[in-house]
Structure formats: structure tokens, C-alpha cells
Copies of this chain bind each other. A is one copy, B any other.
Amino acid sequence: MADSNTARKILAIGLGSMGYGMARSAVRGGHMVWGQDVNAAQVSRFAEEGGATEPVPHGDLEAVVVTVLNAAQTEEVLFGPDGVVPRMRAGAAVMSCATVPPDFARAMATRCGEHDVLYLDAPISGGAAKAAEGRLSIMASGEPAAFSALRPVLDSLAETVFELGDAAGTGSAMKAVNQLLAGVHIAAMAEALTFGITQGVAPQDFLDVISKCAGTSWMLENRAPHVVTGDYTPLSSVNIWPKDLGIVLDIARASNFGAPLTAAALQQFVAAAGMGLGQEDDAAVAKVYARNAGLRLPGED
């Protein structure tokens, strides 16, 4: 819990599945937190659950935490017509949490610097549940002053802060690496589970055995249960992956780096979105494999 020395005035921009939990965690950490979102209902709900209700005092803010969908939205909320950075005081800090290209993070840091605003390149990992618990992993890079300014905020949001150097961009690069693996591993889980069905391996047996063998992954243990129980309530949705793997492949291509597994995984998520499953849990990529092979998954009629 922050005391009077560490409590901060924070604006949380983006109150989606990650941002809402983070804003609540910041409140629980003793900070004064304003919420902002295109969805007015989310802003009202947050105000009812501990958020600050007065007009946002932009000139008094010590930190702005940005948890929007992508680079375009990040640029819009920072520097668009109603952008926050030009209204912030010198020495205040932006913590940017969306998955964005490293070059974009570097550009944002430079532009914030022109307003004497600090910038922490701080993509997050861990999912909505850990966001709500204040137990995220944060892959952060930026100048030491940005880390110092945001330390009490980071403490309220994260279980682990990976400090990846003093230049914006490295945090986003590490996040891209993590997303490459996470996306490939979800699709690989789906491919293996459905392949197993064709060979007489029941999904529950797949989970029981493979999670204890060399074929396991963090994503397999986290997502295969969704397929086994036929519950595709979105904890992280299919639509995340065409976006995040698209970022990976864009920056890979710009570096003349071929990423064939990532490319194959992306196509499976695109097919899932094409099947109308974009809002379902990302484990629903298993339905692409099942449809292509004429298989029935648990919970399907």
C-alpha cells in the first residue's frame, strides 16, 4: 500500500479486460486513479468501484498508464486531438502497456521527451486475472528516471518487473518474442490435441499425460483445459492473435527474418476469426483444426 510519499495521481487510459484490472489494482495500491475509456459505462463502473470522480487534473498527474489495443490507439491517446502528453507537467511519466513495434516505442519516447515527459516502454504479460490481482509481469525498458517516477505504480501492478535496459524499444521487442511463442504454442496445443483425437487420444487424456511430459508448455497447461471442457469464455480472445502475430511478422520481415512457424500459426488464428470465433477464447483455434478434419470437440453437438 502506497503511503503519502509513494501515492501517485494516475490516469488510466483504456479500461478493457487488462486495463480495468490494472486500474483497480492501482487503487488498491493506494493511488488516486482516474479512468478513461471510449466505453463510458466502463468509466462509470470504475468510478463506482474506487476510481476518482473529479475532472481529470491533467497538469497534476504524475503518471499515465496506457492500456489500449495497439500502436494507433496509443498514439491517439498520447498525441491525438485530445492527447494527454501536451497537457502533462514536466517530469510526469507515461507507462505504455500495449503490444507495439519496438520502433514505435522508440518514437513515442522521443516525442514524450519533447514535452519533458518520461516514457516507459512497458508491455504486460499474465492475462486479465493477474491484472486484477496486481500480479502482472512487465517487460520494461526506458531511462532510469522513468523507472523511478513509476516505481510505486509498478509495485501496485506487477509481481515481476523485468528491467530490460535504459532505452525504449527493448521492452516491446521482448514482448514480441513472448507473443511469438505464446501464439505458436496455443496453435500447437490445438494442433496436437485434435491430431490426438484422430489417433484415439481423448482430450482429457491428452491434458493429463502431455502436461507431465516434454511436450508441455505454459500455454498448453493454461488453454487445453478450455478445449477439454468446451468452455470458450474469452479470457484472451482469438482476435488478439492476428494483431500480435501480425506485429511480429511485420517487424520480422523488416529485418529480413523468416518466421515460418509464426506465419503458420497466424493463418490458423485468421481462419478462426474467419469462422466467426474472433470474440471467443483463443483456445477456439482448435475448432479450425476440428472443422478441417471433420472432428467433434468436447461440448459440440
Q: What is the interface of chain A, defined by CB distance below 8 A to chain B?
A: 102, 125-127, 137, 139, 160, 162, 164, 169-170, 173-174, 176-182, 184-185, 187-189, 191-196, 198-201, 205-206, 208-210, 212-220, 222, 248, 251-252, 255-265, 267-268, 289, 292-294
Contacts and interface: CB of A to CB of B under 8 A. Distances in A.
A201 B252 CA distance: 13
Contacts of A215: 177-182, 185, 218-219
A109 B256 CA distance: 51
Given A217-B216, A218-B217, A210 B177 contact: yes
Contacts of A188: 180-181, 184-185, 188, 261
B292 A258 contact: yes
Contacts of A262: 191, 195
Given A170-B201, A212-B137, A257-B194, A181 B189 contact: yes
| Copies in the assembly, this chain | 2
Contact of A192 (B177, B187, B263): B177
A205 to B, nearest CB: 7
A264 B257 contact: no
Nearest to A265: B261
Contacts of A177: 192-193, 195-196, 199, 201, 206, 210, 215
A205 B125 contact: no
Contacts of A216: 181, 217-218
B255 A293 contact: yes
A248 B201 contact: no
Contacts of A263: 264
A190 to B, nearest CB: 9
A170 B160 CA distance: 41
A160 B210 CA distance: 12
Contacts of A264: 260-261, 263-264
